[in-house]
Structure 1
Amino acid sequence: MLQYFTFPVTRFQQNCSVVYDDPSKQAAVIDPGGDLDALLAEVGRRGLKLEQIWLTHAHIDHAGGTAELAKRLGLPIVGPHPGDQFWITGLPQQGAMFGFPPAEPFTPTRWLADGDTVELAGHVLDVRHCPGHTPGHVVFHSPEMKRAFVGDVLFAGSIGRTDFPQGNQAQLVASIKERLWPMGDDTVFIPGHGPESSFGRERRTNPYVADSAPA
């Protein structure tokens, strides 16, 4: 059985998620933005074994701890899409700008593209490329759990910012409607910040992307 928990990290309270197989305890961490000691303590408390790092995108609060964690544990880095290379290269500058601890650039073990999959202990998650917040943003979808880890594409009642370099609101809205909604209204999503919601709820109530919202 595939399970997960969410562990807020950094002063931006970014929702770092750990997906794991029960009973094998094999695990992947999604978006280790920082606070690695606290995160690893929680992983250890639960008896899990981290085997992979999965990234939705390369903003500092999502990717700032990636290089250090990969080095510490010898983990492969999977994702994001190559469109975020310039964000990875700029991690040290991002950290300095926002007052984060020093962050190193890294080279992903594997870049991701739309339609790819990632696998953990025999469980398969689908990858969708959802640009708009950043050009290389990806989303991880588990049909098995009916869960989607969407980073900063969509939030409960809102959508991701598009005022960063290479952000595009029209592209972001299209990503949500064309690539997230087909996952099903009953799919619960874990955003990069704030509480979980479902795609169905956002289609009814989100002022930016509700079915009733102006085109």
Structure 2
Amino acid sequence: MSLAYQIIPVTPFVQNCSLFWCEKSKKAAIIDPGGDAEVIYDAVQSRRLIVEKILLTHGHLDHVGATADVAAHYQVSIIGPEREDHFWIDQLAMQCQMFGFPMVKEFSPTHWLEHGQTISVGERQLEVRHTPGHTPGHVVFVDYADKLAIVGDVLFHGSIGRTDFPKGDHATLINSIHTQLYTLDDDFEFIPGHGPISTIGVEKTSNPHTRL
């Protein structure tokens, strides 16, 4: 019943949209459909998966730009991020202007997430951890069974998320990394919002941006 995944790079920012599914049930979640909806549809169809929900780590455009279209295509709920990111989701039009993107369809999450919640993907479970700093309502998803985390723009291989956007805060981000990610076992792999997969242990020992 392990949880399988495929990373689908989308948007000019090469954002890691993640397709997660339960191998037993073939039920799937799409995490951070930032754009290029047709590419996401093709990946789902090629694996003959049953999409049951969309999960969002945070409200930045490159992570949510195709959310409305994908949710309508599969007729599924939009779950997350934490409620404080309504600030970003409510301003999708402003974000499109800021980043030079074509206008995208607006949406409202079906459910906001809270720290400690558990989300099912088929027969598998993901724990929600609130990780503010990059944005105030950022969350990450932790799969304990497979020792895998989906961390959005909190932590990258050798780097960390930006905090110079409105409502970003560097000290808060560093605290989130140390209390919500670095408390995971060193052999946990994580999928960041951009760039290659890494492990918690590698970043704890070598990431220059997270040293206290």
Decide: shared fold, TM above 0.5.
yes
* Count of aligned positions: 211
Task: Give runs of aligned pairs for residues 131-210 of structure 1, distance below 5 A.
Answer: 131-209=132-210
Distance 1:16 1:84 in 2: 18
1:93 aligns to what? 94
Shift of 1:92: 1.5
1:117 aligned to 2:122? no
Task: Give runs of aligned pairs for residues 40-59 of structure 1, distance below 5 A.
Answer: 40-59=41-60
One-letter amino acid matched to 1:125 = L
**What TM-score, normalized to structure 2?**
0.97
Distance 1:127 1:173 in 2: 18
Shift of 1:101: 2.7
Distance 2:175 2:141 in 1: 17
1:34 aligns to what? 35
Distance 2:63 2:115 in 1: 20
1:60 aligns to what? 61
One-letter amino acid matched to 1:52 = K
Q: Structure 2: which 5+ runs fail to align?
A: none
Distance 1:100 1:194 in 2: 21
One-letter amino acid matched to 1:130 = T
For the Cα contact (< 8 Å) 2:54–2:76, is it kept in 1?
yes
Distance 1:129 1:166 in 2: 15
Q: Percent identity?
A: 51
Distance 1:207 1:116 in 2: 31
2:75 aligns to what? 74
1:17 aligns to what? 18
Shift of 1:99: 2.2
Where 2:81 maps in the other structure, the secondary structure is coil
Distance 1:105 1:171 in 2: 28
Distance 1:93 1:107 in 2: 16
Shift of 1:181: 1.2
One-letter amino acid matched to 2:72 = K
Large movers: runs of 4+ above 4 Å = none
Shift of 1:71: 1.6
Q: Structure 1: which 5+ runs fail to align?
A: none
For the Cα contact (< 8 Å) 2:133–2:173, is it kept in 1?
yes
Deviations 1:132-182 (A, max 9, x none): 000000000000110000000000000000000000000000000011111
Where 1:38 maps in the other structure, the secondary structure is helix
Distance 2:87 2:126 in 1: 26
For the Cα contact (< 8 Å) 2:25–2:123, is it kept in 1?
no
One-letter amino acid matched to 2:153 = D
Where 2:134 maps in the other structure, the secondary structure is coil
1:104 aligns to what? 105
